[in-house]
Amino acid sequence: MEKTAIVKVTAYITRQMNGVKQLLVFEENGFEHLGFQVPGGTVESGEGLEEALIRELSEEAGITPHDIKPLGEYCYISEVNRAETRRYYFEAKADCAEQFTHIVQSNDEDNGWIYNYRWTDLHPSLKLHGYLGRMLHTIQ
């Protein structure tokens, strides 16, 4: 029996500010050493990719995306569980504050985690944790 790949979505929420493209990033309370992250997560059974993206943004940031655009996918073996993982990346817009804190509201292990969000300029040297930054070059 063939093992099914884990499917994940990743959201690059962007905006233009004073002629500079910016990305919405967060740092997780207590895990700031991981650096910048962006919202996303695992696609649930029977869920479409955009549907999962919208759900994850609601759970992890309390925001609703619009103008969603697919950017591509990347497949890899997860270091955490040694499983094949297929990650789909999207760019979208969303209306939100300059900085805000959000407590994750989900039915998963991240429920109750605290994320501190802010906008940062999008530049070639910007690094995101793990595989989150894999498609950043497509939006610069």
Alpha-helical runs (H) found in the chain: 49-61
Going by C-alpha positions, the residue among 59, 48, 35 that lies closest to residue 90 is 48
The answer to whether position 82 is within a domain reads yes
The answer to whether position 1 is within a domain reads no
Cα-atom radius of gyration of the chain, to the nearest Å? 15
Looking at residue 35, what DSSP letter applies?
-
pLDDT score of 80: 79
The answer to whether position 114 is within a domain reads yes
Tally of structural domains, the chain: 1
The answer to whether position 70 is within a domain reads yes
The answer to whether position 62 is within a domain reads yes
Tens digits of pLDDT across the chain (140 residues): 456 889 999 999 999 999 999 999 999 999 898 999 999 999 999 999 999 999 999 999 999 999 999 999 999 998 878 889 999 999 999 999 999 999 999 988 899 999 999 999 999 899 999 999 999 999 96
The domain of 20 spans 6-139
The answer to whether position 110 is within a domain reads yes
The whole-angstrom separation of Cα 130 and Cα 64 is 24
The answer to whether position 88 is within a domain reads yes
The whole-angstrom separation of Cα 104 and Cα 86 is 23
CATH number of domain containing 97: 3.90.79.10
pLDDT score of 2: 53
